[in-house]
Structure formats: C-alpha cells, structure tokens
Structure 1
Amino acid sequence: MAAIIAGGVSPVLAADLEAPIVIEEPQPVERYEVSDFGGWYIRGDLDYHKSKIRGTEYITYGVEPCPGCGDGFQGVGGTKSFDTAKLKSSFSIGAGVGYQISRHFRTDLTLDYWFKTKFRGSTSDDGSSGCGGPGVPCESVDRTKMSALLLLANAYVDLGTWNGITPYVGAGIGGAHVKWEDLENDANVGFATHKGTKSWRFAYALMAGASYCLTDRMVLDAGYRFSRIEGGRMFERNGAGPGFDKGFNTHEVRAGLRYSFGGSANGCYQPETVAYEPPEPIYTK
C-alpha cells in the first residue's frame, strides 16, 4: 500500500519541480548618444589676397591764360584720375570668436590684418597745367603702400555634413581701417612726397567654403571670400592733391582652424558608447 501511494505521488512531485523555461532576450546592440553641439568657438585664419583698386583721383592746380589778370595767367583747379593704379598681392592674418547657434547656423566676429601692399600708379597731362612750364606736360610715377584692419560681423549657413566635410556659405558686414603710407611722386619736373592718410570705411564680404573634422572639437576651415571696402582719402596736398581712392574689391583664399568650447564642433559628432544593461530575464512555467 505504501509502495502504491509513493508511486502515485512521485510523478506529481516531479512535475512540480520541473526547471523553469527562460525566454532569451535578443543579443544586445550597442546604443549611441550624439554628443551635444553648439556654444562658443574661436578661430584663426591665414589668407592670400589680391586687391583691385576701383580708381584713384586727385585735385589738380595749374594756370591758364587770363588777359585781364595781373601777370596774364590765373590759377585753375580740377579733378584728374591716375592713368594707371595697381596694388600687388599680399597676405593677411586673422582671428575671431563665434557662437554655434544650431546645427546649421553660426555667427562670429573676425578681425583681419592686411599686411602692407605695394601700390604703383602713374599720371600725365597734356601740358595745359603748366606743371613744367607753359606747354610742358607733367608725367610722374607714384609709389606708396597700403595696409588695413578689417572688422566684420559674419553669419554662416552650414549646409550639412558628409564624411566629416561641411560646406557653408556666409556674409559679413563691418568696417575697414585703411592706412596709406606717404606717396612718393617721381615726376619729370622733380620729386615730391605727399603725406599719407588713414581712415575708417564701410566694408562687407561674401564667403563660401567647407570645414573638415580633425577632432570632435577642432575643424580645418578653407574657403574663398570676396570683400569690398569703400573709398576714402589717400594722400594730402603737396602742389597737387589731395588724392582719393575709390575703394577696393578683394579676392581672398583663406585657410584656418576653429576650436569649439561648448560642445562638439558642428558636424564633428563622435558617438559615445553607452554600456548596455539587459533587462531582467522573464521566467515562465
């Protein structure tokens, strides 16, 4: 009887003690978090530029016959343009500070120093000015140098990032402090020096280029910038003068570095691996 009872209970106990079934979760997949972007950045730039002067002119003084005057002549004045006016190419160095507002928009304030650029011009007349005596034309070769500080507030649109490369377009507005050195006037009637001048002028710029991620915070920035500086006084009077330039159109090839403080540089997001914690297994009977 005991054997029969034991034999009947054993299957029930075996069923109660059967091992639970574990439902296996899928293999863990690494999860990534995109680093935050935005915040302040600094920049430094070098460039090679070619400036085209849009024209130069100066006030002239001379004489013309005047039968009713004391010595038969009277003074006359007018404005005359240089026959030729050319600026050579030069370099500049710049720095700036900016803010990454969003993934596609940023602004900065830049200050560039244009190293001295050589100017060479020439003038002549038909002899009516009496520069070298009645009927003798004046001819001269004029030399000086120009340097400038260009201060611009800029805004850029970053067009997207592909393989670490972010093309952009931008525009800037501000002012330029233009400094002319003394003008050396080597004429066929003698040598003269005209004192150079310096002044602030209105300026603006248009840019296009691309940046490349070097690290998550630093990018290499290369591009093209067109800048225009309005005209102003060039030199003071010494016989003839004063003289004026009509401003400059400048084409620049630029390269530099940007470093971000507030987060990853725009487009340079380095994914951060987060440890995967699988959920508790689910047991069923």
Structure 2
Amino acid sequence: MARSKLVALVRTLTLAASVGAPSLAAAADLLPPPPPPPYAPPIEVGGGWYLRGDVGASVYDRPKYSTSYDYNPYPDANRSYGNEVGGGGFAGAGVGYQFTPFLRADVTGEYRYSTGLRGSEYYKGYTDENGLGSYGINKSSGHFDSAVVLANAYFDLGTWYGITPFVGAGAGYAFNHVSGYGSNGQYTSASYAYDYGNPQYGGGCPCAPPTYNYAPVYDANGNVVYNNQANTKSYKDKTTGSFAWALHAGLAYNVTDAFKVELAYRYLNLGHASTGASFSTCCGEAGAGVKVKDIEAHDVKIGVRYMLGGLVAAPLPPLMNDYQPAPGPLVRKY
C-alpha cells in the first residue's frame, strides 16, 4: 500500500514538471526591456550673435581751419584763427559676435549732431609804400553733423561680480556734412585820393590794391583816414567722406545672461570736413571754401547688448510610446 502511494506521488510530480518546463524555458528566453532613452542635451540657438544700441554726448577738440583767399593774395598776407566745433550728441545701433569669453567684434552705424561750427579769423593785407597797412576780421558759423560706420573689436578683461571691463579699437568711414555756413567780416584800409581827381579809393574792398598814382587822405588833425568795408560770404553745403578711427574703454554689467548694459568712453577721430565754394559780396566772385581738419571727439556713451544666442532645452520624449504587442517566446533549435 505504501509502495503504491509513493509511485503515485512520483507520477504526479513528473507530470507537473513536464507541464511547467516549457513555460520556464520561454521565460528564460525573454530579453530584459531596454532602458529608457536619455534626455537630449540642450541645444544652442543663435550662436554668439548680439544686437547693440548706444546713445551719448560728445565734446570736440579745437579743429584746424584752412582757407584760401577769394582774390589774389598779397605778398605779406597772413592769417590766424580761433575756431571750434560745438558739443553735441549721437545715437547708433549695430550687430556683433562674441567669439570667445574674451573676444568680440561688431559693426556699428551712428548719426552725430553738433551745436555747430564757429570760427574767427584775423588776416593782414597789403602795406603800401607809405607804410600804411590793411587788415580784416571775419566771424563765421555753420552747422555740422556726421554719419559714421565703424568696425570694432573688443577684448573683455574678465568678469567680477557681474562687471566686465573692456578695451577696444575701431576703424571705418565718416560722412561729414557742413551746412548753412557763412561769415561776416570787416576789412579796414586807408583811404586814398588819386592824381586824376577821382574820389577816395572806395572803402578798402580787398579785391586788388590800386595800380595807379594815389596818396593817403588825411583829416584836419593830420591823421590818415581809414575806411571799413563790410564783407559777407556764404558757402555751399557739402558732404565730405573721410577715414575715421576710434579707441574704446568701458565697463559692462550683466543684467542677465543675455542682456548687458555698458558705460564707456570713446575717442573718435572723424577726419576732415569741407564747405562748398564761397560767394563774396565784396568782390562778387566765387571763391574757395573752408576746410576743417582733425575733427576729434571725446564721447561718453551708454549702450545695451542683447545676446541672440543661448541654450534651449531639447523637446521631451513622448509620455507614452505607440502600442506594440508583446513579443512571443523565442524558440531555440538545438
């Protein structure tokens, strides 16, 4: 009896093992599920490009003026000047690129205006055989403005507490415009009487000295009589192109990673400017214009920079993949 029970138990265990063995084999043949895909790293959009804008005020050094006579110069003629370019302001914009944390460059364009050109001129005319000389004084004024295009490079010296000092240099072209320029002058010379009975040499307009016999006119006290001749000149407007260059130094503050504010000083050399031809009411002839040389500005400006580049997160993977049926068991063939 005991033997028959033992045989029955062995048969039951053998049957159970034969039924469960295929399932265990199939489970062993299944591969583990793959790990989820990693998140994509952030991507950079726009690179190191940035936009900038600036406004500021300017003070100009005293420029050099040069003119030529609107008539035949006298042998001993000489001139001295006292001239200036009035202070003004400017505004501009540009686009640039940040190559490294220390090196960047941009191209800018700006419009500059001034309170005007002002000049004074003293010149000496001819001296006759009696030792009587002549001289003139002119006061002039006009408007000055300029459009400037510069290519600039900057070196950022490092950042501390969000503040970045920098230095730089630039070169480009200036379109200097002079308009509304004119002068009011007075020419003083001795009065003369001529041996053929003509009246006095009419007031000293310095177009040419007398070429015939003449003698000074004296008053009752024996003093030479001098006449004053007013002389007004107007000049045509003119735009002159000139090489320009600049030196920069300043501080930038990081308001955010993309937005920066600058406070800077700039030395700007605008080259030269010229008026057009002149017309004199004294001699009634067109003459040379006025050339203004070495126009140098000292600028204080406030600027902003906005970085177009930055890190942007990649799109997230879908929350649920498309449904696919579970793979069937792998069947191995031995």
Q: Would you say same fold, with TM above 0.5? A: yes
Q: Percent identity?
A: 29
1:242 partnered with 2:289: yes
Q: What residue in structure 2 maps to residue 122 of structure 1?
A: 120
Match of 1:91 in 2: 89
Aligned counterpart, 2:99: 101
Q: Secondary structure at the match of 1:125?
A: strand
Instruction: Give the direction of change, closer, same or farther, for the CA distance of 1:77–1:262 in structure 2 (3 Å limit).
Output: farther
Note the alpha carbon deviations across 1:56-104, whole angstroms, 9 max, x for none.
01011445xxxxxxxxxxx659996551111111110010100111111
Q: Which residue does 1:163 correspond to in 2?
A: 161
Q: Does 1:216 align with 2:257?
A: yes
Task: Confirm whether residue 57 of structure 1 aligns to residue 98 of structure 2.
Answer: no
Cα separation, 2, equivalents of 1:108 and 1:190? 49
CA contact (8 A) 2:177 2:273 kept: no
Tell me if structure 2 keeps the 8 A contact 1:61–1:77.
no
**Is 1:260 aligned to 2:301, yes or no?**
no
> Quick one: which of 196, 200, 203 aligns to 2:237?
196
For the pair shown, the structure with the greater C-alpha radius of gyration is 2
Q: Distance in 2 between matches of 1:129 and 1:263?
A: 76
With over 3 angstroms needed to count, the CA separation of the structure-2 counterparts of 1:81 and 1:35, relative to structure 1, is farther
Counterpart amino acid of 2:126?
S
Cα distance in 2, alignment partners of residues 159 and 79 from structure 1: 55
Q: What secondary structure sits across from 2:94 in the alignment?
A: strand
* Aligned partners of 2:55 and 2:90 also within 8 Å: yes
* Structure 1 vs Structure 2 CA RMSD: 2.7
Tell me how far 1:124 sits from its aligned partner: 1.8
Partner of 1:41: 50
- Residue equivalent to 1:251: 298
Letter in 2 for 1:47: G
Counterpart-to-counterpart distance in 2, 1:43 and 1:77? 56
Q: How far, CA to CA, are the matches of 1:99 and 1:85 in structure 2?
A: 41
Whose relative contact order is higher, 1 or 2, with alpha carbons under 8 Å and at least 6 apart? 1
- The answer as to whether partners of 2:77 and 2:126 remain within 8 angstroms in 1 is no
In structure 2, runs of 5+ residues without a counterpart are 1-40, 187-229, 281-286, 312-334
What code does the residue aligned with 1:228 have?
A: N
Deviation at 1:243, TM superposition (A): 1.6
Aligned partner letter, 2:182: E
Amino acid at match of 2:171: I
Decide which structure has greater strand share. 1
Counterpart contact for 1:154–1:172, Cα < 8 Å? yes
Q: TM-score, normalised by structure 1?
A: 0.70
Task: Report the more deviating stretch, 214-223 or 120-129.
Answer: 120-129
